[in-house]
């Protein structure tokens, strides 16, 4: 199971590219297209390094998805879930109603769960509302 360029593009569009480490809305030190593992303030990356970090991070999250999901997924499902889990983390996904709905074979109900993940720091974030809408649209899309 792998994310396609469609999934990677979705992540890039919402994460943006930052070549110098910064603290995100949650105060987590981040670099590139949202990489957090091992990042320290003052770190820098090139665009090529950011791309490689993105691909490695996304594959790690896709591997988590593959280990947790017990039903077949199409490529749009994989891409949408990769974008979601890249943002919320595998632990949150593992405990989510969204995962339960997927594993129950209820993709229709799973899609409606995306909109529940729109808060950061206890506040509704418009950027997350837009991101979840895009992820849900991809999840529900029949275009592959």
CA end-to-end span of the chain: 15
Catalytic residue (one of 15, 49, 51, 140): 15
Task: Please say whether the beta carbons of 46 and 54 come within 8 A.
Answer: no
Asked if 115 is an active-site residue, the reply is: no
Give the phi and the psi of residue 29 in degrees, each rounded to 5.
Answer: -70, 130
- C-beta of residue 62 within 8 angstroms of C-beta of residue 82: yes
Length of the chain: 144
Catalytic residue IDs: 15
């Amino acid at each position: 199971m792998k994310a396609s360029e469609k999934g990677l593009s979705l992540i890039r569009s919402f994460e943006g590219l930052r070549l110098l480490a910064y603290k995100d809305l949650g105060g987590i030190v981040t670099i590139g297209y949202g990489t957090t593992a091992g990042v320290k303030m003052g770190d820098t990356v090139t665009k090529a390094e950011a791309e490689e970090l993105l691909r490695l991070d996304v594959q790690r999250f896709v591997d988590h998805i593959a280990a947790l999901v017990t039903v077949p997924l199409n490529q749009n499902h994989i891409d949408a879930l990769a974008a979601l889990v890249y943002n919320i983390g595998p632990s949150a996904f593992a405990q989510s109603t969204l995962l339960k709905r997927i594993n129950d074979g209820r993709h229709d109900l799973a899609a409606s769960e995306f909109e529940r993940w729109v808060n950061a720091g206890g506040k509704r974030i418009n950027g997350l509302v837009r991101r979840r809408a895009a992820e849900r649209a991809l999840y529900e899309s029949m275009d592959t």
